[in-house]
Structure 1
Amino acid sequence: MRWLIRLAAFALLAYVLGYAAFAVSIARPAGDQHTDAIVVVTGGTGRLERGFATLDRGLAPRMLISGVDRAVRQADLERVYHVRPSLMDCCVTLGRDAFDTRSNADEVARWVTRYHVRSIRLVTNDLHMARARYEIRKRCGAGLAILADAVPTDPSLGQMFSEYNKYLLGRAADLVGI
C-alpha cells in the first residue's frame, strides 16, 4: 500500500513540475530569421496578421495557412488583412483539410513534402506552440527545422492548465498508439 501512495505522490509531483516547466517555457515571438516557408495554424487572433506581415517582409518566400474554413475565399483574406492579390497568388496556399492540431500537422507534412521545405516559421499563439510543434515534428521528422514565432496572449491559469493537459493527452495518445 505504501508503494502505491509513493507512486501516486511521485506522479503528482511529476505532473506539477511538468506544468511549471510548461508555464515558464511559453514560446515567444521570433526575430528576423529567414526560413523556407511560413506556416500559420488558424484558430486564434493575431496569427494571420503575423503570417502576412512576415511574408510581406520577405522572411520566407511562401506561406501555408492551415485549417482555413471552406467558406473563406482568397478575396476575403485580401480584403480583411490588406494583402496584395499578387502576394496571395504567388506565395500563399490555403490549406482546407485541417480541423484540429493533429490534422494541421498532417496538412503541414503533406505541404512541406510537396514543396521540399526544410525550414518553417511556425506561427500560432504562445500557449498552442508546444503542442503544434510536437505534432508537426512527429509527422515531419527531425530534418525539418521549426522556428517558433508565437503570437503573445495573456492566458489565465485555467487556459494554461487546459493547454498543458491537451499537450499531455497528445503525448499519451502516442504512447498507446492512438
Structure 2
Amino acid sequence: MSGQDSIEATGRQSASAEGAGNWQRLRRAFGLGASLLVGAGLVFAAGFGWFASHVSHLATPSDPQKADAIIVLTGGQSRLDAAMELLETGKGDRLLISGVHPSATRRQLQHALGGDKRLFACCVDLDRTALDTIGNAEESAKWVHNHAYSSVILVTNNYHMPRSLLEMGRLLGKAKLEPYPVVNTNLDNGGWLTKPEALRVLFTEYNKYLLALARGVLPLKPTPDGITLAEGAANPAR
C-alpha cells in the first residue's frame, strides 16, 4: 500500500469513528430525553392521582367555626345556597358574593337565593368585577382589607377549593381562611374514575392548579389568548 493510500484509509477510519461517536452521542441524547419525558409523565400522572383523591375526600363541615365573614365564589347555585345558609345561621357577620354577572341585579339574586330579604339587604355585598379565580382573590382581598376581617369562611366546590385557597392565600395576608367545600357529586373510593364528566372536570382543574402553582415561581398572567409572562418579566429593566 502506498503512502497516499495509507493516509486515505486512515482518514476514512477516522471519519467513520467520528460518525459512530456522533451517532452514539445522539442516541444517548435521545435516550435521556425520552427518559425525562417518561419521568415527567409519571410525575404528572401521580400528581393528578393525588389531586383527584384529595379533592374527592373533601367533605362539607357539619358545624364550621364562626368567622368574621363569608366569601362565596360564583359558579353554581349550590355554592350560593350554602353561603346564604352560613350567613343565616350566624357563621359570619357579612357575605361577599364574588364574580356576580354585571347584568344580575340585587333583586334577581335575592329572589334566586330566597331567604331573609332584610338579611340580604343589610349583610350581602356583590363583587361584579372578578372574571376568574385570580380576580376573585384580588377583589376578596380588597373587601377583607377594607373591613379589617381576620377570619373568613371560603365557599366553593370541592374540586375548586385547592386552587381557590392557593390564590386567596397569596393576597389575604394574615386573614385566616376556613375552607367550606361544597360537594355536588360523591366521588369517594375512586368514583371519579368511573364518571367521565367528573374525570374531565378534575383533569381540567388539576392543570389550572399546576398553572396557579407555576405563577408562584414565574410571573405568569392569564389573557384571553392563553397564558403569557407579565409585563414586568417580559420587559425587564435595562
Q: TM-score range by the shorter chain?
A: over 0.9
1:136-174 residue CA offsets vs partner (Å, 9 max, x unmatched): 111123x22111111112361111111101111222233
Is residue 172 of structure 1 aligned with residue 214 of structure 2?
yes
Structure with bigger RCO (C-alpha 8 Å, 6+ apart): 1
> Which amino acid is the alignment partner of residue 13 of structure 1?
L
Is residue 106 of structure 1 aligned with residue 138 of structure 2?
yes
Q: Secondary structure at the match of 2:97?
A: strand
Is residue 29 of structure 1 aligned with residue 71 of structure 2?
no
Distance 2:42 2:164 in 1: 25
Q: Mind listing any 5+ residue stretches in structure 1 that lack a counterpart?
A: none
Tell me if the contact between 1:40 and 1:64 (Cα under 8 Å) persists in the aligned partners. Answer: yes
Q: Secondary structure at the match of 2:162?
A: helix
Q: Which range moved further: 121-130 or 26-35? A: 26-35
Q: Which range moved further: 2-11 or 58-67? A: 2-11
State which structure, 1 or 2, has the greater radius of gyration over its C-alpha atoms: 2
Distance 1:83 1:107 in 2: 25
- Taking only the aligned residue pairs, the percentage that are identical comes to 35
Is residue 140 of structure 1 aligned with residue 172 of structure 2?
yes
Distance 1:107 1:130 in 2: 18
Tell me if the contact between 1:30 and 1:147 (Cα under 8 Å) persists in the aligned partners. Answer: no
Q: Which range moved further: 80-89 or 126-135? A: 80-89
Q: Secondary structure at the match of 1:176?
A: coil
1:163 pairs with 181, 201, 205, which one? Answer: 205
How do residues 115-126 of structure 1 correspond to structure 2 at under 5 angstroms?
115-126=147-158
How do residues 62-73 of structure 1 correspond to structure 2 at under 5 angstroms?
62-73=94-105
- Under a length normalisation based on structure 2, what TM-score does the superposition of the two structures give? 0.70
Tell me if the contact between 1:123 and 1:151 (Cα under 8 Å) persists in the aligned partners. Answer: yes
Which residue pairs with 2:34 in the alignment?
5
Q: Mind listing any 5+ residue stretches in structure 2 that lack a counterpart?
A: 1-28, 186-196, 221-238
Q: Which range moved further: 36-45 or 75-84? A: 75-84
Q: In proportion to residue count, which structure has more helix?
A: 2
> Which amino acid is the alignment partner of residue 135 of structure 1?
E
Q: Which range moved further: 54-63 or 132-141? A: 132-141
Q: Which range moved further: 149-158 or 64-73? A: 149-158
- Under a length normalisation based on structure 1, what TM-score does the superposition of the two structures give? 0.93
* Cα RMSD, aligned residues only: 1.5
Distance 1:106 1:31 in 2: 29
